[in-house]
Amino acid sequence: MSHNTFGHLFRVTTWGESHGPALGCVVDGCPPGIPLEPAEIQQFLDKRRPGQSRFTTQRKEPDEVEILSGVFSDGEGRQVTTGTPISLMIRNVDQRSKDYGDIASKFRPGHADYAYFKKYGIRDYRGGGRSSARETAARVAAGAVARKIIPGVRIRGALVQVGDIKVDRSLWDWDAVDANPFFCPDAATAVKWADYLDGIRKSGSSIGAVIEVVAEGVPAGWGAPLYGKLDQDIASAMMSINAVKAVEIGAGMAAAELTGEENADEIRIGHDGEPCFLSNHAGGVLGGISTGQPVVCRFAVKPTSSILTQRKTIDINGEEADVMTKGRHDPCVGIRAVPIGEAMMAIVLADHFLRHRAQIG
Amino acid sequence: MSHNTFGHLFRVTTWGESHGPALGCVVDGCPPGIPLEPAEIQQFLDKRRPGQSRFTTQRKEPDEVEILSGVFSDGEGRQVTTGTPISLMIRNVDQRSKDYGDIASKFRPGHADYAYFKKYGIRDYRGGGRSSARETAARVAAGAVARKIIPGVRIRGALVQVGDIKVDRSLWDWDAVDANPFFCPDAATAVKWADYLDGIRKSGSSIGAVIEVVAEGVPAGWGAPLYGKLDQDIASAMMSINAVKAVEIGAGMAAAELTGEENADEIRIGHDGEPCFLSNHAGGVLGGISTGQPVVCRFAVKPTSSILTQRKTIDINGEEADVMTKGRHDPCVGIRAVPIGEAMMAIVLADHFLRHRAQIG
Amino acid sequence: MSHNTFGHLFRVTTWGESHGPALGCVVDGCPPGIPLEPAEIQQFLDKRRPGQSRFTTQRKEPDEVEILSGVFSDGEGRQVTTGTPISLMIRNVDQRSKDYGDIASKFRPGHADYAYFKKYGIRDYRGGGRSSARETAARVAAGAVARKIIPGVRIRGALVQVGDIKVDRSLWDWDAVDANPFFCPDAATAVKWADYLDGIRKSGSSIGAVIEVVAEGVPAGWGAPLYGKLDQDIASAMMSINAVKAVEIGAGMAAAELTGEENADEIRIGHDGEPCFLSNHAGGVLGGISTGQPVVCRFAVKPTSSILTQRKTIDINGEEADVMTKGRHDPCVGIRAVPIGEAMMAIVLADHFLRHRAQIG
Amino acid sequence: MSHNTFGHLFRVTTWGESHGPALGCVVDGCPPGIPLEPAEIQQFLDKRRPGQSRFTTQRKEPDEVEILSGVFSDGEGRQVTTGTPISLMIRNVDQRSKDYGDIASKFRPGHADYAYFKKYGIRDYRGGGRSSARETAARVAAGAVARKIIPGVRIRGALVQVGDIKVDRSLWDWDAVDANPFFCPDAATAVKWADYLDGIRKSGSSIGAVIEVVAEGVPAGWGAPLYGKLDQDIASAMMSINAVKAVEIGAGMAAAELTGEENADEIRIGHDGEPCFLSNHAGGVLGGISTGQPVVCRFAVKPTSSILTQRKTIDINGEEADVMTKGRHDPCVGIRAVPIGEAMMAIVLADHFLRHRAQIG
């Protein structure tokens, strides 16, 4: 058991606070002989990096990753993994010097401030300390390593809902995802979100969102019932991300409204002689085991609790108070959750790939 | 890592198949000196037991639990835990002898049949084998033990949606839950469900449902961020239950539509001098740590895949086929998920109680 | 983490007390499709069974194992594993009814009595409860399953020292091991031990012993440095056996007296073109990883603390007292540790086989 | 499960290679509010640091530790733990640039070279890579943190044997330990060792050693039978240290020669009204649980395999070859194992303190 480790055979232990000197992770269990250059990790960090549009926090962090261990030259000019732990470190750069007075002593409603203080009796209040979304940089770095060990699996994410504005699934285009600042798979909806979020941003408010992550190419058989089910671990992974309040697999909550006939994804034999499902309400998982269909997961992210509106709260002395966040502000923290969700999916799948190989060979 | 164990310090390892001689679990990590009689476990098993109304499967199982280890006389006439592993066993009684021909060779769409076969190359097809909901009897037994070590916590569950018929929350009455065969907290909705489910049952179909589980009395501070968050473990626990496709904490998926102002549960000081939240969108968890508010979780259960309608599938030889389930039929497997959800909540909370005590004292 | 589970991917969770209705274990992580009949387990239980000679305890237990889950017909008349947890149960039969008065209230010096009471505040004093060597029956049963998944590995154990009488290694004969009641690999020494132990037995005393376990056929590469080293896990496994006070790998304690030249097992290429070590001070493990040489382990077992001589102690009320064990008596508990040591070696190797396969493929 | 993590509730994950840019560890599970300054860690690193006498390797490493996360000001000028993961990093400085030609392609007999290559197909041969004793700096740093959470426990180690020269236990003086370059508790023996090791050093050879670690002040009750026994975890911890080939608790291997009467540590009530053992053959552990007596452990370290004498080996192409190590040389690697053994004892005890508190409160 560990408080700060995720995964069983592919294990990620993260460390670091928002305003400490650095953050990072140790990736353990990676097979040897896998080419791994910093640039391969950096591309995913760049996707998650803050301050890339006016719709996310303006903190400026280069998020440059250093590989401190676990790789070596393969003698042919490539740097490869050695099977030993891979230590990844990212220096914090833009820990803006400021007066934390208000945040140091008052709990922001909806924020982890209160719960951390009640648990630990002490908290690093600078930028949220350990509960800051800064930590997710380490997840994204680890996810980049995870992708390398399941090269046949393609993992992509998209933002599918902001407030009550959902994407039009009939217009879904994966190529659109990188062409707008929202990871939106539908260009028309991206325009609507820009307008909507400008309003949210200017009013100092924030709004929730839904992210969808799809993994294609997962072979049938991954997952370890009954308590290491693939969907169970995906739920655990996504719920561990800051601000996530719900996780759905396949039909998700809507499964409650389906009849047995509707829900049962019928099977035929495809032109290639392989089993072919006629629908995917299961989201690629039955009985906790992958079926060979795309693994489909969605999760809801609540609005950031650091808003520019005054809210009722109490302080660390138990006195009633009002609090209002100043400074950098993130109108929709859900946007940057897209690469994070992808990373967590990659980590879960890499772990289950190894677990499957252990038991089945 | 274990495939069939749940929990870290309060650990439950379950075993057994639907049609084997018995099923059970080993509960490890239970503190010593806790009174534990079979009857205390039996009451929860009785709640989950099949065949108690026409709305659940007609399999008749007494589900009598035996405590095989881990308890001893305290010298004053009471049987108490000794701190050693508690082995609980339930004999299977009503494994109806029948011809499994069709099920043995054809995969029921929407069922774990296909995935198990692809993974293991062999499966115990009798009644679903290991993937059967029979296994949940062991969870309920373990949950009864879990409740004993967190006596200040009250855990209750209810069915809140069947198909598209939701309970009327303004009429919520916990006392109503045990007064109808659905664990419905609203007597009027229970009547509607009875009609609706009679239709589903007679047509040989099935329907999904949503369960809500609430834990009151959880003190602030339980939960181990970042990868042993309380809500993360609840999500993992609920998603490990058969047929569950989504898990929500507090506002759940609806958090996507909330603004920061709406979502932030404001805090005041109550008449008792204790912090008092003005709302509970957080579902009692912030930053993965309990806040002292009720912990609120919902999960969606898909319709059972064993229906009396013919569906397209393939067989174990890769040939296209049609399949239709015969015999005992469960129109809404979600009903019996209520005591199971309660049990899993109890197990997660008992585990986190011990984990919190380890680190904080 | 679990108190009563050993192993990571091949996991054994044991339960049960000396005088409870039964004891057993759950074996999790076993690959599917492996033939497994009760008789294959029974043969090892028979080897460990008490009461087979006058040199071990006279408790009469048939130790018949029941397989309660995890196996199914492969359709060709064989029972095979399904990849789901294997529950094994052994009924206790000869829990002799007696007055536990003295043992119930006084701590036997050298016995776990005292420590259990100090930890738990309660203990099942009947026959030692959970700390009884009865529990090792579950280990032996699990070890039998472990052997089935590493069929190329041959694991054999022998008693190599009783008191200060050591076997003559120049006369080592594996075939002799099953031809005497001591698992002694040297017939001449077995005769000496018989005489010696008759004296010990008649005087109501007891004596320690050393067991050696050798695993041949372990390929190079098993072991997971730095904290899942093969020899580390062997040390952990052997030290978990009742009464074990020391574990040696290869040269063991004597390594302290070796020079670098002596200790370095030189390597040549053998007639078969494979690497061939000229000695095996390493005991088959370098850097925590197997080398392909036989894995050699020894462990020392202290004399049983239940002796017929009066000893000074205290009682549960903290009063000074004298205590003397009556009834069944085991002059050299080390004898029966031979099959137990073999079982633990099998469990460690099966676990590392799966772990190696996970990371390396 | 993790390859590079030790401990369950107090968990240490180490990373880094001998010649990489840095090495370090993440310490997870540390309770909050514990004062922790770099200097408190540094003092133990200084004790382990290489190059402090002519009897250890001449590599010059300052071993300066950086605390990268997990601490914060307590508002009163002290830096304390926050309950979040503590990341410790030590830069490598003296990675001497040289031609690794011979070592890169030939396996040193008795060294992990061969086994790593067989397992991973690649190895960082510079200074032993991951298998280097450099990694133990991270253990010592983590051990310093561990000591802080069990302040009532005093952990001390000593070198008790070099080659066949043992300390005279009648002259044991803990104060002598820091007064000679061997951590020898007996000044007279230290003189003998100096002579003896000068001979070893000049001949380019090496020699094994035995270390003893004693923990005083451990209360009765720590340890989690049956598979988380205190002595089991100590054995695992010590065997995980480079070059260790055997571990003893209390009487150790000599327990084999004890009678039941000799072995049973009798108990009386002391002048303070507390139980008082008349001997400590048990080494402070019975049934896997601490008794309140000093916990006593010894372990044997083999001679370093890097010697200046030519030895027979093979190379990575499977060709026979001779190899001789050049450059820095460590005549008795056992010396520096003293602070490492202390650190591992501290880590095990801190872990068991938390585990005990979880289950017992």
pLDDT tens, position by position, D170-189: 999 999 999 999 999 999 99
Average pLDDT over residues A290-317: 95
> Do the chains contact at B1 and C13, CB–CB below 8 Å?
no
How far apart CA D257 and CA A65 sit, in angstroms, is 58
Residue D8 has pLDDT above 70, yes or no: yes
CB < 8 Å to B11, chain D: none
Average pLDDT over residues A228-235: 98
Average pLDDT over residues A335-355: 98
How far apart CA C350 and CA C86 sit, in angstroms, is 15
Residues A86-115 have pLDDT tens digits of: 999 999 987 765 667 788 899 999 999 999
Residues A172-213 have pLDDT tens digits of: 999 999 999 999 999 999 999 999 999 999 999 999 999 999
Contact D338, D159 (CB under 8 A): yes
Q: Give the tokens for residue A128.
A: 């949220």
Q: Report the residue count for chain C.
A: 361
Residues B50-92 have pLDDT tens digits of: 778 888 877 788 899 999 999 999 988 899 999 999 999 999 9
- Flag whether B243 is marked binding: yes
Average pLDDT over residues B27-36: 98
Residue D1 has pLDDT above 90, yes or no: no
Residue stretches of the annotated binding site of D for FMN: 130-132, 242-243, 287, 302-306, 328
Residues D191-249 have pLDDT tens digits of: 999 999 999 999 999 999 999 999 999 999 999 999 999 999 999 999 999 999 999 99
Residue C15 has pLDDT above 80, yes or no: yes
Proportion of chain D in helix, strand, coil states, percent, rounded to 5: 30, 25, 45
Q: Give the tokens for residue B328.
A: 């005992």
Encode burial over C194-222: b for 16+ CB neighbours within 10 A, e otherwise: bebbeebbeebbbbbbbbbbbbeebebbb
- Flag whether B236 is marked binding: no
How far apart CA B166 and CA C283 sit, in angstroms, is 67
> Do the chains contact at C110 and D281, CB–CB below 8 Å?
yes
To the nearest whole number, what is the mean pLDDT of chain C?
95
Q: Subunits that touch chain B (at least 3 Cβ pairs < 8 angstroms)?
A: A, C, D
How far apart CA C222 and CA B132 sit, in angstroms, is 36
How many residue pairs bridge chain C and chain D with CB atoms within 8 Å of each other? 378
CB < 8 Å to A289, chain C: none
| Residue to substitute from C28, C149, C150, C359, interface A, most A β-carbons within 10 A | C359
CB < 8 Å to D258, chain C: 207-208, 302-303
Write the DSSP string, D305-332.
S--SS-EEEEBTTS-EEEE---S---S-
Q: What's the confidence (pLDDT) of residue A184?
A: 98
ipTM of the complex: 0.97
Percent of chain A with pLDDT over 90: 86
DSSP state of C178: G
Residue C97 has pLDDT above 60, yes or no: no
Contact A246, A299 (CB under 8 A): yes
Residue D101 has pLDDT above 80, yes or no: no
Instruction: Work out the minimum CA distance from B323 to partner chain C, whole angstroms.
Output: 21
> Do the chains contact at B111 and A162, CB–CB below 8 Å?
no
> Do the chains contact at D354 and B358, CB–CB below 8 Å?
yes
How far apart CA A208 and CA A337 sit, in angstroms, is 11
How far apart CA D207 and CA D331 sit, in angstroms, is 6
Q: How many distinct helices (H) and strands (E) make up chain C?
A: 8, 18
Confidence of residue A132 (pLDDT cuts 50, 70, 90): very high
To the nearest whole number, what is the mean pLDDT of chain B?
95
Confidence of residue B222 (pLDDT cuts 50, 70, 90): very high
Q: What's the confidence (pLDDT) of residue B157?
A: 98
Instruction: Work out the minimum CA distance from C248 to partner chain D, whole angstroms.
Output: 4
Residues A260-275 have pLDDT tens digits of: 999 999 999 999 999 9
Residues C131-161 have pLDDT tens digits of: 999 999 999 999 999 999 999 999 999 999 9
Contact A300, A274 (CB under 8 A): no
How far apart CA A203 and CA A199 sit, in angstroms, is 6
> Do the chains contact at A286 and B112, CB–CB below 8 Å?
yes
> Do the chains contact at B303 and A263, CB–CB below 8 Å?
yes
Return the SS3 of C103.
helix
Residue reference for tokens 């693994």? A295
Instruction: Work out the minimum CA distance from C45 to partner chain D, whole angstroms.
Output: 20
Least confident of B91-95, B103-107, B119-123: B91-95
Residue stretches of the annotated binding site of D: 48, 54, 130-132, 242-243, 287, 302-306, 328
More confident call, C327 vs D29: D29
> Do the chains contact at D4 and A85, CB–CB below 8 Å?
yes
Q: What is the phi/psi pair of residue D192, to 5°? A: -60, -45
> Do the chains contact at A283 and B245, CB–CB below 8 Å?
yes
Q: What's the confidence (pLDDT) of residue C5?
A: 97
| Residue to substitute from D84, D117, D352, D354, interface A, most A β-carbons within 10 A | D84
DSSP state of C334: T
To the nearest whole number, what is the mean pLDDT of chain D?
95
Residues C62-94 have pLDDT tens digits of: 899 999 999 999 988 899 999 999 999 999 987
> How buried is B319 (Cβ within 10 angstroms: 0-12 exposed, 13-18 middle, 19+ buried)?
exposed
How many Cα neighbours within 13 Å face the side chain of C360? 20
Average pLDDT over residues C113-122: 96
- Out of B1, B28, B120, closest to residue C9 by CB: B1
Q: Subunits that touch chain C (at least 3 Cβ pairs < 8 angstroms)?
A: A, B, D
Q: What's the confidence (pLDDT) of residue C1?
A: 65
More confident call, B218 vs A103: B218
Residue B12 has pLDDT above 80, yes or no: yes
How far apart CA D70 and CA C317 sit, in angstroms, is 45
Q: What's the confidence (pLDDT) of residue C58?
A: 73
Residue B95 has pLDDT above 80, yes or no: no
Residues B36-53 have pLDDT tens digits of: 999 999 999 999 887 788
CB < 8 Å to A317, chain D: none
Confidence of residue A349 (pLDDT cuts 50, 70, 90): very high
CB < 8 Å to C113, chain D: 286-287
Which chain D residue has the Cα nearest residue B356?
D358
- Flag whether C242 is marked binding: yes
> Do the chains contact at A3 and D85, CB–CB below 8 Å?
yes
Which chain B residue has the Cα nearest residue C120?
B32
Q: Is the peptide bond before D226 cis (omega within 30 degrees of 0)?
A: yes
> How buried is A151 (Cβ within 10 angstroms: 0-12 exposed, 13-18 middle, 19+ buried)?
exposed
Question: Domains along chain D?
Answer: 5-360 (3.60.150.10)
Least confident of B10-24, C211-225, D83-97, D103-117: D83-97
Write the DSSP string, C222-261.
--BTTTB-HHHHHHHHHHTSTTEEEEEETTGGGGGG-BHH
